[in-house]
Structure 1
Amino acid sequence: MYYSVAFPVVLGFCHGMGSVRHTFTITYTEINGQTIARIPEVSAVATLDGLQIDYYDSVRKKLIPKQDWVAIESRNIWKDYTEIREQVRQINKINITVLMQQLNQSHGVHVYQRMYGCVWDYKTNDSDGFDQHGYDGEDFITLDLKKLRYNSPVPQGIPIVQKWNNDSQQLQLLKQYCEQDRIDWIKYFLELGKDALERKVSPLVSLVQKNSSSPVVCHATGFYPSEVNITWLRNGEEHYEDVELGELLPNEDRTFQKTSTLSIYPDEWKKHQYVCVVEHKTGTIQKNLTEDEIRSNKSKLIVLTCDWVVFTAALVTVILVDYLLYILHVSPDNWKINQYFCVEEHK
């Protein structure tokens, strides 16, 4: 199930890196059944600290680098790395077939997702690994690396967990994979992409409202790295009621965006002082909730409605970058001058 590839040894790479902890993640999504046109049955994305490194799917059957520094410097290992993705794809295809049989599912569209990788602290050299599986939007199997045991929150996963936990040789290979092989990959990619990974871009923060009675969305976009904290203050104190924090999403320019929605009536926020606070490595930005600060359909802001397809599991939200992200056909010169938002509407 797990494989290693030889690569150059990298030394002295971590000085000056912007983060102490680094996370390398590979996410697979497998769809069994009739899929939407042009959406592959299997896709995979690798990220380092939230930055996409590559993309693979069952249609192209080749690993596509998503960073220039990966494409140029990793040619010697790219072929081997592609073969690994193909091997894991075949394993996942078997997994979903067996799972459907155990659940007595002979037809329909089913989604199997897997996210695995490791977290490494370069100052302490501590590491941890994870291997999380989801099926049809539910948590299915997770790995406890410290105990070196798989667990399942659902009865259907117990037979699989028992089989995997009885394979001591495979568990030891898994431990080596998480504590050594993946750490070496993190070190290697950190050295290759240190210029891109060390960059810092401040978020652009706006308060957005569909109409005068709609919830107010605090929208932060265009920031890098991906770590951001969005909170609301009410009269100077942290406010958590009626607040829904959105998921972190990637932008096409390799930055990120995130939202926090405050669902209260206008009379409430007009009587009290509400502030959206966005904390990022580049600094802290505050937006006072006032009518002058809010952008809505009545303002000069151009609001575009978009459709995207996102397959989610409780542990994993997989965004198929090449196929499932919305595409906004606007020239860079245009969106740098104006401010665009994609508004998703739902009952």
Structure 2
Amino acid sequence: MKKFLLLLLFCHVSSPVKHSLKLFFTGSSGVPNFPEFVVAAVIDELLVAYCDSNKKIIETKQDWMKTFLENNPQYLEMYTKECLESQPNFFKVWINRMKQRFNQTGGVHIFQSMAGCEWDDETGEVNGFNQYGYNGEDFLAFDLKTSTWIAPKSQAVIIRQRWNADESRIKRIQIHLTEIYPKWLKMYLDWGKSSLLRKDLPSVSLLQKSPSSPVSCHATGFYPDRAMMFWRKDGEELHEDVDLGEILPNHDGSFQMSADLDLSSVPAEDWRRYDCVFHLSGVEDDIVTKLEKAEIRTNREEPSNMTIPITSALAVVVVAAVFIAAIGFAVYKKKKANRPPPPPVNSAELSEKLNPET
């Protein structure tokens, strides 16, 4: 299981093929300049709503989410009550309990919960999750397959036993993970389908800095970020001599990624056996780019193409310098010829100017 960290509230991790709804609840104690309670709602790794105990309002982070709450005030009322009343008190109590169980007093302490589900829109499979963490470590987690709580920490064993014996709690959690959360997720996907469900294919290019550099297969402009890229040789996926880059955001909200292939030990005649494959989740056809030298883009200039322009430029500069020097010399000679002779200088004055103290 993943470690709970405060930064999870704003993390961005791509998912292979599934849609997801994740609700992050964070209670804190002793953290300077940070709210005591924070909630973040994340759909397909995109932050859509947020609230904290300082601002005391629900902030929508996507236009479609704002429209949804405007058209469904009952949800806004429910979320506001949970964020400002129920959950803050719950987490404050739990932080005090955790400090007692771990024999702690002052300092910084964080108690978190993550709940939600994943839904595969192709197979219909649903996987719900509900887990708790304290000070960056897993504390309790619900196993939906066995409908039991798991306690990674010894301090959580007593709580696990009590919660596993509470049948009504188990049933309530099952309903949330298998019915309520999937219903919310599908509803949000429908409201935000213009952005959440859109699929934009990228432009794919082959790039190379120098003849000895790896060839980079670069895809940019795709959406969403659930994508894969890999190199093949004779139709078989390669793992050696391949450096796969991360998926990065573009300024327009789309994404880019690249995969570098080291060809230093590959003969030029074998390049045609390689190709680059880009796959976007939910799109049946892949984008396959053959490795051909004619298709590789580079910003380097061939030396042979640089010789003539550089030589010509130098010649022009030399001719211009000689011409300017000739004109300057002619002007100087003319001015000198027309200049009147200087007046005679008295020897006594000259001596006085050269020796002012005498």
Q: Same fold judged by TM-score > 0.5?
A: yes
Structure 1 residue 54: deviation in Å? 1.0
Structure with the bigger RCO (C-alpha within 8 Å, sep 6+) is: 1
1:270 maps to 2:257: no
TM-score calculated relative to the size of structure 2 = 0.59
Aligned-partner SS, 1:134: strand
Flag structure 1 segments of 5+ consecutive residues without an equivalent.
Answer: 1-18, 210-214, 296-347
CA contact (8 A) 2:17 2:226 kept: no
Give the CA deviation at 1:92.
2.7
Partner of 2:60: 65
The structure-2 alpha-carbon separation of the partners of 1:125 and 1:235, relative to structure 1 and needing over 3 Å to count, comes to closer
C-alpha distance in 2 between matches for 1:27 and 1:243? 36
Question: What's 1:51 paired with?
Answer: 46
Map 1:246-285; keep pairs closer than 5 Å: 254-255=253-254, 270-272=264-266, 277-281=277-281, 283-284=286-287
Task: Classify 1:34/1:127 alpha carbon distance in 2 versus 1 (closer, same or farther; 3 Å).
Answer: closer
Q: Distance in 2 between matches of 1:21 and 1:51?
A: 13
Q: Is the 8 A contact 1:49 1:226 kept in 2?
A: no
Aligned-pair CA distance for 1:238: 3.7
Out of 4, 26, 33, the residue aligned to residue 30 of structure 2 is: 33
Query: 1:256: Cα distance to partner?
Result: 5.2
User: Using the alignment, how far apart are the partners of 2:220 and 2:80 within structure 1?
Assistant: 32
How far is 1:151 from its partner? Answer: 0.5
Q: Partner residue of 2:77?
A: 79
SS in 1 for 2:264: helix
Gaps of 5+ in 2: 1-15, 209-213, 300-358
Shift of 1:85: 2.7
Equivalent position of 2:116 in the other structure: 117
Tell me if structure 1 keeps the 8 A contact 2:275–2:288.
Answer: no
Alignment CA distance shift 1:112-1:219 (3 Å): farther
Partners in 2 of 1:102 and 1:124 — Cα distance?
43
Tell me the secondary structure at the aligned position of residue 95 of structure 1: helix
Distance 1:247 1:171, change over 3 A: farther
SS in 2 for 1:27: strand
Supply the distance in 1 between the matched residues of 2:36 and 2:246 (Cα, whole angstroms).
24
Q: Structure 1 residues 166, 227: CA separation in 2 closer, same or farther (over 3 Å shift)?
A: same
Considering fraction of residues, name the structure with more helix.
2
Percent identical residues: 37
1:128·1:178 contact (CA, 8 Å) conserved in 2? yes
Structure showing greater Rg: 2
- Secondary structure of 2:106's counterpart equals coil
1:127 positional shift: 3.0
Counterpart Cα distance in 1 of 2:169 and 2:275: 51
Does residue 1:187 correspond to 2:186, yes or no? yes
Question: Partners in 1 of 2:206 and 2:137 — Cα distance?
Answer: 33
Q: How many pairs does the alignment contain?
A: 271
Q: How has the CA–CA distance of structure 1 residues 153 and 200 changed in structure 2, closer, same or farther, with 3 Å as cutoff?
A: same
The structure with the greater share of residues assigned to strand is 1
1:99-140 alpha-carbon deviations (Å, 9 max, x no partner): 222112223323333221123355665533111223333333
> Secondary structure of 1:78's match?
helix
Q: For residue 162 of structure 1, what is the amino acid of its counterpart?
A: Q
CA positional deviation for 1:294: 9.2
Q: Secondary structure at the match of 2:83?
A: helix
Specify whether residues 172 and 57 from structure 1 end up closer, same or farther in structure 2 by C-alpha distance, changes over 3 A only. same
Where in structure 2 are the equivalents of 1:90-105 lying within 5 Å?
90-105=89-104
- CA RMSD, aligned part only? 4.4
Secondary structure of 2:56's counterpart equals: coil
